[in-house]
Copies of this chain bind each other. A is one copy, B any other.
Amino acid sequence: SKEITAPHPLEPLRQISKQIGHDLDTVEFAQHMDSIDPLRHLRNEFHYPKMKTLGSVDQSIVNPEEDCVYFCGNSLGICPKKTREYVTIEVDKWEKTGLEGHTNGDLPWAWCDEGLDDQMGVLVGAKKGEVGIMNGLTVNLHLLLVSFYRPKPERYKVLLEGHAFPSDHYAIESQIRLKGYDPKDAMICLEPKEGETILRHEDILRTIEEQGDSIALVCFSGVQYYTGQKFLMEEITRVGHKKGCVVGWDLAHAVGNVEISLHDWGVDFACWCTYKYLNSGAGCLAGLFIHEKHFNNSYPRLTGWWGHQLTTRFEMDNNFHPYPGALGYRLCNTPGLLCPPIKASLEIFQKTSMSELTKKSRLLTGYLEARIIAKYGYPDTQRQYNKTHRLIEENGESIGEHVNGAQSIENGAQSTENGAQSTENGGESDKNGAKRIYVEILTPSDVNQRGAQLSLSFNINITQVFEELRKRGVVCDERKPRVIRVAPAPLYCSFEDVHRFMKYLDQALNAALE
């Protein structure tokens, strides 16, 4: 089975905790982790929003001067400090020189995306020319489907997630219709096993093995937007290819979040947006990947003048000569104001690497996971977690910090960092007959099957809790009625952010359940 494919970060976290003599749930531990984080300086590359600038925050219950807790990089990344400067340069240029901006300055508009595309390609393991920057994600997905979804009567189906992101679902659905097939019949929407929330890797593989002969295209997200599950892209691609399917990936939640090797994996196509972990701003230009092996294919495609080679583009003779790679898929001239944010973003990624980021990310999200399980885990989950990580053997007893009075990690102490008893609410609640709070983490515990995000499913409606979190400057994402998604992005989030998140979650639960 593929359920556990990489070492779990709890091990090093516990070792460090022992070394420094501070438990995982202490601010000292979190601060120590930050002090030894080799990427901690990267937070300074961003404008990390402050409590005082967030409209949702109740300034009377937080320190307005503090940073908020920004755990929403899976939805919208924060603003690199260089963005303003680079955007201003382009506005200046337009003001001062008009048309000359097309061919002059730092990012000449006529080719401002070129160069940035290959830099972005590094983040997905692409070779030169395999990545282009253009349009939005869903537009790119359509452009790719026009080329790569080529149904034939004996092989016309698309295998996708039953809970694919709606835009992907709609895109695939409409492309199936466009090509004359019936989505009801042609879409294989893979559902998790009864009672489960994530798709098991082996079930994906088995479906491909079993139905692959009728499948024209396998199209999944690299990281699932709702559950945070990372699919094992390499093997799915390989198995898909073995069955003769085309395999493409929507990397919206994967790029800048997890390690990806599109070229080496032989992935046929991929696309992604840049406003999540790539921090390029709402609706910014999206990425598009075409594997080199497809550079000379003669698949159908939608064409436009910007896909025409630059050397002869302006001869205007209406004979289309596309760039061989991803750039050939461009239709329109590139928005001059959208490349500066991408440049600012990529410069930060160039100060590190996806492998360094992944190392940190696993620790950071692993830390969050450990804290959540210890405090809000269902007894069974705690038991299982402890057993998996041999916490029971080491300590000779079960370990768990629970809002409702279970033991805290490793030492059984129940005080929270702000001195309040973490059981306070739990105890009262019990007296009042209120429900115990439990959290199920929908995201796999296997670090190879997730990125930064954890999806937390509460045993209560969290509408009010979410409001209380917002009041405390916790920026995350609510999926009604029970789920919040939290993503400590390793580029700019800290261990102390995780610690503060736990504190505010405790407060928010107390406030909401009062």
| Interface contact B97-A142, CB-CB below 8 Å | no
Q: Give the 3 A-B CB pairs with smallest separation, nearest first.
A: A136-B332, A167-B305, A283-B335
Q: Say how far A163's CB is from chain B's closest CB, in angstroms.
A: 8
Q: Does A373 contact B (CB under 8 A)?
A: no
Q: Does A267 contact B (CB under 8 A)?
A: no
| Interface contact B76-A84, CB-CB below 8 Å | no
- Within the complex, which residue of B55, B174, B341 is in contact with A337, where a contact is CB–CB below 8 Å? B341
Scan residues 47-105 of chain A and give those whose CB is less than 8 A from a CB of chain B: 47, 49-50, 53-56, 68, 70, 72, 75-76, 78-79, 83-84, 87-88, 91, 94-102, 104
Q: In chain B, what residue has the closest Cβ to A305?
A: B167
| Interface contact B170-A303, CB-CB below 8 Å | yes
Q: How large is the interface on A (under 10, 10 to 19, 20 to 34, 35 or more residues)?
A: 35 or more
| Interface contact B166-A109, CB-CB below 8 Å | no
Q: Does A190 contact B (CB under 8 A)?
A: no
User: How many copies of the polypeptide does the oligomer hold?
Assistant: 2
Q: Does A36 contact B (CB under 8 A)?
A: no
Partner-B contacts on A (CB < 8 A)? 47, 49-50, 53-56, 68, 70, 72, 75-76, 78-79, 83-84, 87-88, 91, 94-102, 104, 109, 135-139, 142, 146, 163-167, 169-171, 173-175, 177-178, 226, 273, 275, 281-286, 300-308, 313, 316-318, 320, 331-338, 341, 475, 479
Can you sample 9 A-B contacts with CB below 8 Å? Answer: A47-B94, A53-B97, A99-B475, A163-B316, A164-B318, A171-B302, A173-B320, A282-B337, A335-B338
| Interface contact A139-B146, CB-CB below 8 Å | no
| Given known contacts A87-B87, A331-B139, A332-B136, A170 and B281 CB-to-CB distance under 8 angstroms | no
Tell me, in angstroms, the Cα distance from A175 to B143 when the chains sit together. Answer: 12
- Within the complex, which residue of B88, B173, B300, B305 is in contact with A178, where a contact is CB–CB below 8 Å? B300
| Given known contacts A139-B139, A338-B335, A170 and B305 CB-to-CB distance under 8 angstroms | yes
| Given known contacts A142-B302, A306-B167, A56 and B282 CB-to-CB distance under 8 angstroms | no
- Within the complex, which residue of B72, B304, B331 is in contact with A99, where a contact is CB–CB below 8 Å? B72
Which residues of chain B are within 8 angstroms of A178 by Cβ–Cβ distance? 146, 300, 302
Tell me, in angstroms, the Cα distance from A22 to B142 when the chains sit together. Answer: 61
| Interface contact B320-A282, CB-CB below 8 Å | no
